[in-house]
Each structure stands twice: as structure tokens, then as C-alpha cells.
Amino acid sequence: MAFEDTKGEHSGNGNGSGKTKGKGRKGKDRQEAVIEVAELKKRMAQLVKLKKANDETAEDLNDAIKKAAEESGLLASVVRKAVVASAGEDFEAKHREVEQLSLAFEALA
């Protein structure tokens, strides 16, 4: 696997409003960061290991959601959304959204 040092690209649409953007991260000073490929190479084995573990965990979660959906009679997408909302910080906002959506559907039925 080779890493290339690339320059910016023009992202305009031909009307003069395009901007030239550098590729890569920007530092706190909004200047293009210095690319240190050696840092990536040093961490790559660990990152790949974490990615594989994440994939396995995601598969386990998918299986558990499907099983919970089958046993509860709910749609798997509903179970997933409930799990994501419960695991996140926006549970109250999601709860409010679902209540309002339910009211809207009841009014339209």
C-alpha cells in the first residue's frame, strides 16, 4: 500500500465561485497540517486490529437486534433506533420526536 502526497484540487463549477482546497487536515492555525506518514505506518497494525474487532462487534449487535425484534414482534429498525437512542445522549429528543410522529400519524389515519 503506497501513500501519495497530493496537492489541492479546484472544486468550482465553472462560474467563478470555486475554491481551491488543500487535501488533508488543517491545524488550529487553519494551515494545512504537515503529513507524517511514518505515524500512520506506526499505528496501522493497531488500527486494523481495532477495525476488525469493531466489525465483529457490529455483527454481534446486528444479530442481537434481529433476535430481539423477532422475539418482541417489533421491526428490527425500530429496535435498532431504540438501542441507539438509549445508548446516546439524545434519548429525550428522540422520545419527543417519536411521540410527535405518532400524533401526526394518528391524526392522518
CA–CA separation, 75 vs 71, rounded Å? 10
* pLDDT tens, residue by residue, 13-23: 665 555 555 56
pTM of the model: 0.59
Residue spans of the domains in the chain: they are 25-108
pLDDT single digits (tens) 72-89: 999 999 999 999 999 988
Q: What is the pLDDT of residues 40-66, one digit of tens each?
A: 999 999 999 999 999 999 999 999 999
What number of other Cβ atoms are within 10 A of residue 65's Cβ?
Answer: 19
8 A C-beta contact, residue 11 and residue 21 = yes
